[in-house]
Structure 1
Amino acid sequence: MRFVNDRLRPMTGFAASRGRAQALRGHAAMLGFSAAVSGSFSLGAMVANDISPVALTAVRFLLASLVLALLVSIVPGGGRDGQRGFTRADWRAPWRYGLMAALYTGYFVLMFEGLKTARPVSAGAVFTLTPLMTAAVAWPFLGQRLRPVVGTALGVGAVGALWVIFRGDTAALVGFEVGQGEGIYFLGCILHAVYAPMLRRLNRGESALVTASMITGAGFFVLLAYGWRDLLATDWGALPALVWVTLAYLVVFATAFSATALQFAAQRLPVSKVMAYTYATPCWIILWELALGHGGPGLLVLPGVALIVVALLILLRAD
């Protein structure tokens, strides 16, 4: 018996070490996700009134799906079971991709609609409410219950988000005076909160790249059916250069990379922790705004940003 126990102990330690390594990879993926997504707020606000949100998102998803499909074909392990390319099994139950695409495209359309009037930092704060909503959805969908420390972190982050959204104005908070743009984007965040658990619930062994490619491809057809008039009405040749720069960024970083990172992390971390990395978004947006010469937020919102950072640190320490 002693011999057996000695043999089992290293295996248990190896399994624990491997589990920690996978978790760290998930955390790294979500850190990259938050950095990539944040740029879309600042750039999106700059072009939101130059192009229809439906037209922008449709072209974005079409190009992203092609980029992702190429990666599936050439990247080792891009497909199922560590192979390259798509398999017949990836096409089973295609309704899954349509359902997730409807949620994902709805989120982005409402995001850019909201950015027509909402400030980037304020919109980023709205995004930080998503983890709390995601945790509420994850319980019935995945059976994942919040540990006290995670619940505490989500609560602290929500308070910080509300502080930023209302710009430190307690009178506006009490009266719940939400800007129109923030209200529109909040509806989109509800869709995103449902989308994250769906990724895990509906996955049937597809790789992160395959899932992201399928969803963005299906998303294009969803938007084509819904907003084909916007696509035809857009004068593509007359669009400002910044729109094309923004579109390129959205395709490569905010769609192809972020969708893959989110799917990768969702298979390695509890979904509440996956979405917890949205708490880093306002901090990244502030850096983006400073880099673009738009200035930083007012001093009144900084306590809220600090609370958001504290929430993220609590979650990181919990691991």
Structure 2
Amino acid sequence: MPPSQTEAAPARHNTYAGGREKIMAHLAMLLFAALISGSFSLGGMIAKQVSPAPLMLMRYIVTIIAMAVIAFGFARQPFRVPEKPLRFLWLGLLLAIYMLTMFIALEFTSPVQTGAVFTLMPLVSAVFAFFILGQKTRTGVLASLLIAGAGAIWVIFHGDLDAILGFDVGRGELIFFIGVVSHALYVPLLRFLDRRDNPLVFGFWLAVGVAFWLALAAAPDLLSVDITALDWKFWAILVYIGVVTTAGTFQLLQYASMRLPASKVLGYGYLTPTSIIIFEAALGNGWTSLSVMIGAAVTACGLLVMALLPD
């Protein structure tokens, strides 16, 4: 008698992909980093039109609609309550905490400071993966992550050594660290709570879980949103971020987290500052300094070494 889905799932917790699947997982995370970076540049164009919590809720409503059409329309998956539905609420809570603490932290500190806190995420995730999944991070992988992280910090602080040495841990940094811990926990839990769900259906229910918590956070500000005052550019960017960025990154992150260790998956977040530089240049906002580009190259080299090392 074949094992049930519930019984089979734990066997995947400590197994990694090999060959082609591993390469595809790394490519998925490269695309993930590019999509996330693009959302920063595009999101900045509409962020001032709607307050943060309602804007994120609107983004996830778009994602829910898109995932429903794709999963239950085009892919013709059956619409039913998934196995252990509460897991989507817990996963959604972790993502909602991450996004909300990011915006709250920016009221007390700068994007540069929050970016520096962000570099702790792969290391924190490696700790969670050890206790939840039994994943052990090899010394070489850890060293490459530290190198990539150092390059990312150099980029975040614009190559200013005095700014790096003057880093001050205040209220904003501590608030965002809670978000970083939440997202670091999210990735190994994706693998731990896997029940062999269809990726499209999983993405739909995850978006529902995130939107539930965002609706609670956005409720006080929803009445202040004037829908009629929002132009077509706002809606175009919102649809792009909700469909391509959010729905797309759900699928990419789930795919990679089933095939790579958590520390390797989140290590690609270090590419975000570099990718933002490229996007900003493509939008005509100019290139950064040579010193910062060297830091970006160090990050890329560190991640390349990480990708080539055994899991």
TM-score, shorter chain, exceeding 0.5: yes
Counterpart of 1:262, as a letter, is L
SS class of match (1:92): coil
Judged with a 3 Å threshold, the aligned counterparts in structure 2 of structure 1 residues 133 and 180 are, in CA distance, closer, same or farther, namely: same
Judged with a 3 Å threshold, the aligned counterparts in structure 2 of structure 1 residues 28 and 208 are, in CA distance, closer, same or farther, namely: same
Counterpart of 2:29, as a letter, is M
Name 1:217's counterpart in structure 2: 208
Judged with a 3 Å threshold, the aligned counterparts in structure 2 of structure 1 residues 35 and 122 are, in CA distance, closer, same or farther, namely: farther
1:263 aligns with 2:254: yes
State the Cα deviation string for residues 169-212 of structure 1 (Å, max 9, x = none): 32332231479877765543332111111111111121222221
How many angstroms apart in 1 are the aligned matches of 2:298 and 2:197?
37
**Contact 2:47–2:55 (Cα < 8 Å) also in 1:** no
How many angstroms apart in 2 are the aligned matches of 1:75 and 1:21?
27
How many angstroms apart in 1 are the aligned matches of 2:273 and 2:165?
23
The structural deviation recorded for 1:144 is 0.6
The structural deviation recorded for 1:282 is 2.2
The structural deviation recorded for 1:29 is 1.8
The structural deviation recorded for 1:289 is 0.3
The structural deviation recorded for 1:214 is 0.5
Name 1:51's counterpart in structure 2: 50
Matches within 5 A, 1:52-71: 52-71=51-70
SS class of match (2:223): helix
Counterpart of 2:70, as a letter, is L
Name 2:275's counterpart in structure 1: 284
Structure showing the higher helix proportion among its residues: 1
**How large is the RMSD of aligned CA atoms in angstroms?**
2.7
The percentage of aligned residue pairs carrying the same residue is 40
Rg: which structure is higher? 1
Judged with a 3 Å threshold, the aligned counterparts in structure 2 of structure 1 residues 105 and 242 are, in CA distance, closer, same or farther, namely: farther
How many angstroms apart in 2 are the aligned matches of 1:176 and 1:115?
15
**Contact 1:41–1:123 (Cα < 8 Å) also in 2:** no
How many angstroms apart in 1 are the aligned matches of 2:117 and 2:281?
20
Consecutive unaligned residues of structure 2, counting only runs of 5 or more, are: 1-16
Judged with a 3 Å threshold, the aligned counterparts in structure 2 of structure 1 residues 109 and 297 are, in CA distance, closer, same or farther, namely: farther
SS class of match (2:220): helix
**Contact 1:131–1:272 (Cα < 8 Å) also in 2:** yes
Q: Equivalent of 1:145, from 128, 136, 144?
A: 136
Consecutive unaligned residues of structure 1, counting only runs of 5 or more, are: 1-17, 77-83
**Contact 1:118–1:182 (Cα < 8 Å) also in 2:** no
Counterpart of 2:235, as a letter, is W
The structural deviation recorded for 1:223 is 1.4
Q: Equivalent of 1:85, from 74, 77, 80?
A: 77
How many angstroms apart in 2 are the aligned matches of 1:124 and 1:247?
24
Counterpart of 1:191, as a letter, is S
How many angstroms apart in 2 are the aligned matches of 1:19 and 1:87?
33
Judged with a 3 Å threshold, the aligned counterparts in structure 2 of structure 1 residues 67 and 189 are, in CA distance, closer, same or farther, namely: same
How many angstroms apart in 2 are the aligned matches of 1:113 and 1:49?
15
1:246 aligns with 2:237: yes
Name 2:88's counterpart in structure 1: 97
How many angstroms apart in 1 are the aligned matches of 2:118 and 2:45?
18
The structural deviation recorded for 1:264 is 1.3
How many angstroms apart in 2 are the aligned matches of 1:113 and 1:298?
30
Judged with a 3 Å threshold, the aligned counterparts in structure 2 of structure 1 residues 177 and 141 are, in CA distance, closer, same or farther, namely: same
Name 2:5's counterpart in structure 1: none
Name 1:19's counterpart in structure 2: 18
The structural deviation recorded for 1:123 is 6.3
The structural deviation recorded for 1:234 is 1.0
SS class of match (1:297): coil
Counterpart of 2:41, as a letter, is S
Matches within 5 A, 1:150-229: 150-177=141-168, 185-229=176-220
**Contact 1:98–1:215 (Cα < 8 Å) also in 2:** yes
SS class of match (1:91): coil
How many angstroms apart in 2 are the aligned matches of 1:257 and 1:288?
18
SS class of match (1:233): coil
Name 2:39's counterpart in structure 1: 40
Matches within 5 A, 1:92-131: 92-112=83-103, 118=110, 127-131=118-122
Query: What is the TM-score when the length of structure 2 is the normalising length?
Result: 0.83
Judged with a 3 Å threshold, the aligned counterparts in structure 2 of structure 1 residues 246 and 186 are, in CA distance, closer, same or farther, namely: farther
